[in-house]
Structure 1
Amino acid sequence: MRTLWRSFRARLLLGSVIWIFAGVAVSGFVLSEIFREHVTAQFDTELKGHADELAVLVHVPPDGAPYLQRWLSDPRFQPPGSGYYWQIRRKGGELARSSSLGGAALPMVGPPPGPGVSRQSFISGPTGEVRLLERTVTPTGTGESLRIAIGADQRLLDDVLSQFNRTLALSLSMIALGLVGAAFLQISFGLRPLGKIRSALAAVRSGRAARLPDDSPSEVRPLVQDLNALIDANAEMIRRARAQAGNLAHALKTPLAILADEGARLNAQGQAEAAHTILTQCERMRRQIDYQMARARAAASRSTPGAVADAEAVLTPILSAMRRLHGPRGIEYRLRAYSPASAAVEAQDLSEMLANLLDNAGKWAATTVEVAFDRPRPDILRVTIDDDGPGLVPEAWDVVFDIGERLDEHAPGSGLGLAIVRDLATLYGGRAWLEKAPSGGLRAILEVPAAPGSTMKRRY
């Protein structure tokens, strides 16, 4: 439920549905009551008209029972059980009644109403409750008062009301569903600019666009402008940070080169101890500068939206360089790749990670280095590099990722390659680790975020 309330569309749609159904329910109740009052009044008016006609048609002979000079104009008073009845009673007990009563009599309780007064009541009739209208009339020329009653089954009125209510409920339900559908379309259409902004942000993050489009509705245009300003400011800040880091590295490497030359000069003069100290410290400083520069560049790249690198495009020149570097030793590099495969990583940083891993594998391989790509999850790109060298003991798999760690001091290298790989991968939200390769050598695994929307197809 909490997730539901985080959606503008769900909130607006739920509010619209509540108000639509509440409004339709109230409207249905009001219309039903208005119709009930109208039909009831019309029903009672019709009974009064029949009572007037009955009072005119009744005739009372001097020594006989009252009767009608002709049938009522409404034929519904004739068929038995039709639900429409009339009855006339005189003081002596003689009565006349409609053929629809089927020989039964309507129970007329209590005293008769006064002259000129119409009294309505409900009584039990042959087929249910009867809505009854009573009057006291005195036919012309007789001087005798008669108690006339005319009525109709309440079920006839209830049937009309029930049929109307069913039709009304069906009609209002269809109107409510139509209004809900219209509200959904209206809300979807109204929120479409937000969806376009979301897609535009995804395009910026994936590197397919540099900024958000400016042709947005006036209500969200300030938001788009602020986001574009933030993107521009962030890009400018990162550009300046990279420039400053590059200037600092250049400023430090120049004195280091001078110190290294001085150490070489001292060594040439026979001052080996002093020269060794200077050269060792220069090498340590150079390693730290390279390491920290790689971290700073990766941190800046991670903060930049839209960093995307085509893994195969990055890997191809690296493999070419590795074949030239290690090929003379008989090392063969084999590629088992998926194409296309894009990583949400700056191309330069992905190149540095792959180059360090492939170079390390080439140094220790006996004959072959194999590279493979796969996607364990849609948001992860995994690179696996196997060599057929001597491998490492499991206890050393984590140690070699520490800064400056070299298990073989006679092998070329600075001891920073694997440390840079792990730190760069971590800064991008990925990871790097070592395992035993199926060939018995060492397997290096690098996982980095996959670019949004990128797909992979196996190339055999």
Structure 2
Amino acid sequence: MSGSARSVASATGWVDVKARWRSFRARLIVGSVVWIIGGVALSGLALSELFREHVTEQFDGELHGHAEELIALAAVDPTGRPYLHRRLSDPRFLPPGSGFYWQIERQGSAPVLSGSLAGHPLVLDGAPPATGVERHVFITGPRGPVRLVERTIVPAGAGGEPLRIAIGVDERELDLVLADFNRTLALSLGVIALGLVVAAFLQVTFGLQPLGRVRTALADVRSGRVRRLPEDSPSEVRPLVQDLNALLDANEEMIRRARAQAGNLAHALKTPLAILVDEGERLRAAGQSEAASAILAQCDRMRRQIDYQMARARAAASRSAPGAAADLNATLAPILSAMDRLHGRRGIRYRMECADQVAAAVETQDLAEMVANLLDNAGKWATDEVFVGVSTSREGVVRIVIDDDGPGLPPESWELVFDVGQRLDERAPGSGLGLPIVRDLANLYGGRVWLEDSPRGGLRAVLELPAARA
């Protein structure tokens, strides 16, 4: 992989991470997991340390008890050699290498050892502790560090020479107990942490379900299945739902007023315009053809501009209204029938291929106006046939392709014909507003329209519109 490809992949991965981090669910779950793992880990460390202190105290207490028993059993024979009246009660001091040791030393005599030392005495460093003082030290034993308790006593018959008593246990014995406890603790806390993570995931999932229902309801509003959001939501979400419903109501009222005002404006303009047209016809009838032609031409220009601006205003209002959807089959069928009657006298045939259940996210009236303009334009220039193909080109886009077998247009004119009032051939009937209206309506709905060469030899018009939600 090249450096640029790695950079693109790294940037894409970072964008994906940022997109996931914008999710409430991801933030809550990650935060819960971090706190749970951190809390459980700290709890485990604290419990392990507390258990270590407890076990250490227990071992020290046990060694203290064994030291007291050893002191009670220690004696000196007539030769001055120390001995025990009997064995210690704990059998762990007997097997060689058991990890539990005791030793008695007296100046000038061989030390007395436990069976676990197997004849190898412990090396006691430094001077013995003072009489009556218990000293806890660490020394090196047969199998590693030994936790040792030392005492100094003067038994009866010892001739004044004290005995140095040492009793200890391998540090490894303490470590084994702690390791076993830590394994059990880690397993237990791991199960608890897993349970808490699952509980947090379920809590977040169920806790965010009301927001998911609001999102689904908004999709239903946009698709036109419902007008308002249901308000049977939890108290924390209900104010948001109520505000959204108020916004939907205000938007609907605004659109209603805009349509009413546009209709009123059109009526207010068309009535004087009709009077002017009538006056122009009167002038023509009176023989004033030059003045009549000027008035009628300007009236026709005003009428075209009114129709164009009204189409834009209606489409803008429709675009603002949620739930717009137009079925392609149902919308195109009557338009094709009308085009057959309009251009059939010249022998022009219209043929359509359209998949079932294809709908565009536009108002039916606006879709009809766009397609009718394109079909009428194709019928004017076709020689024998106009073909209409409807498909879903990619996810979320409906494509309408209209091909004719006429003379076509040079590529430099493909954009020019979308200018308002632009007509490339004055011999053909029309106002020069059809294609500009199509482009403006398509742009208002987030779509696009363009021209290109047709494989049938004429011109191809391609109209792409957003698909309606299922």
TM category, shorter: over 0.9
Question: 1:77 maps to what in 2?
Answer: 93
Alignment-derived partner of residue 36 in structure 1: 52
Whole-angstrom CA distance in 2 between matches of 1:222 and 1:268: 68
* Pairing partner for 2:284 from 267, 275, 286: 267
Q: Does 1:237 align with 2:254?
A: yes
How far does residue 4 in structure 1 lie from its aligned partner after superposition? 4.4
Confirm or deny that 1:443 pairs with 2:460: yes
Partner deviation per Cα, 1:300-336 (whole Å, 9 max, x = no partner): 1111111111122111111111112222221111111
Q: Which amino acid aligns with 1:443?
A: R
Equivalent of 1:288 in 296, 305, 312: 305
How far residue 2 of structure 1 moved from its aligned partner, in angstroms, is 4.3
CA contact (8 A) 2:325 2:468 kept: yes
Residues 80 and 109, structure 2, Cα contact 8 Å, conserved in 1: no
Please state how far the C-alpha of 1:142 moved relative to its aligned partner: 4.7
Partner of 2:201: 184
The 1-side partners of 2:112 and 2:365 are apart by 112
* Distance across 2 between alignment mates of 1:3 and 1:333: 48
Letter paired with 1:224: V
Structure 2 partner of 1:99:
115
- DSSP 3-state at the match of 1:448: strand
Return the letter of the residue paired with 1:73.
S
The code of the aligned residue for 2:135 comes to R
What residue identity is the alignment partner of 1:297? R
Give 1:10's aligned residue: 26
- 1:94 aligned counterpart, secondary structure: strand
Cα offsets for 1:338-386 (capped at 9, x unmatched): 2211111111101100111111111111111111112222121110000
Q: Distance in 2 between matches of 1:248 and 1:336?
A: 40
Q: Which amino acid aligns with 2:177?
A: V
Corresponding pairs, count: 453
Equivalent of residue 89 in structure 1, options 84, 105, 110: 105
Q: C-alpha offsets along residues 48-91 of structure 1, whole Å, 9 cap, x if unaligned?
A: 11112222222321115322232222211111111111111122
* Partner deviation per Cα, 1:20-62 (whole Å, 9 max, x = no partner): 2221122111111110011011111111111122222223211
Aligned alpha-carbon RMSD (Å): 1.5
Structure 2 matches for 1:26-65, cutoff 5 A?
A: 26-63=42-79, 65=81
Q: Which residue is 1:135 aligned to?
A: 151
Aligned to 1:121: 137
Greater CA drift, 417-426 or 258-267: 258-267
Asked if the contact 2:76–2:157 (Cα under 8 Å) also holds between the matched residues in 1, the reply is no
Which position in structure 2 is the counterpart of 1:381? 398
- 1:22 — aligned with what? 38
- Partners of 2:396 and 2:118 in 1: CA distance: 86
- Which residue pairs with 1:327 in the alignment? 344
User: What TM-score does the superposition give when structure 2 sets the normalisation length?
Assistant: 0.93
User: For the residues of structure 2 that align with 1:395 and 1:30, how far apart are their CA atoms?
Assistant: 80
Distance 1:414 1:95 in 2: 125
- Of residues 396, 416, 424 in structure 2, which corresponds to 1:399? 416
Distance 1:143 1:362 in 2: 136
CA distance in 1, matches of 2:438, 2:21: 42
In the alignment, which residue of structure 1 is the partner of 2:322?
A: 305
Question: Which amino acid is the alignment partner of residue 321 of structure 1?
Answer: A
Q: State the alpha-carbon separation in 1 of the partners of residues 322 and 298 from structure 2.
A: 38
Matches of 1:188 and 1:140, distance apart in 2? 79
Q: Contact 2:423 / 2:432 at 8 angstroms: preserved in 1?
A: yes
Deviation at 1:94, TM superposition (A): 2.6
Q: What is the one-letter code of the residue matched to 2:212?
A: G
Out of 410, 423, 432, the position equivalent to 2:449 is 432
> Which residue identity lines up with residue 78 of structure 1 in the other structure?
L
SS in 2 for 1:374: strand
| Cα distance in 2 between the residues matched to 1:111 and 1:251 | 120
The SS at the match of 2:109 is coil
Q: Which residue of 2 aligns with 1:336?
A: 353
Q: What does residue 457 of structure 1 align with? A: none
- Structure 1's consecutive aligned runs of 4 or more residues displaced over 4 angstroms after TM superposition are 140-144
Return 5+ residue gaps in structure 1 as ranges: 454-460
Q: Distance in 1 between matches of 2:126 and 2:420?
A: 113
The 3-state SS of whatever aligns with 1:280 is helix
Q: Aligned equivalents of 1:423 and 1:43: distance in 2?
A: 89
Give me the identity figure in percent. 69
Alpha-carbon displacement from aligned partner over 1:388-425 (angstroms, at most 9, x marks no partner): 11111112111111112222222122211111101100
Which residue is 2:384 aligned to? 367
TM-score of the pair, normalised by structure 1: 0.95
Determine the C-alpha separation between the residues in 1 that align with 2:339 and 2:441: 21
Distance 2:153 2:248 in 1: 96
CA distance in 2, matches of 1:328, 1:306: 39
Task: Report the more deviating stretch, 106-115 or 239-248.
Answer: 106-115
> 1:15 Cα shift?
2.4
Q: How many Å separate the matches in 1 of 2:115 and 2:424? A: 120
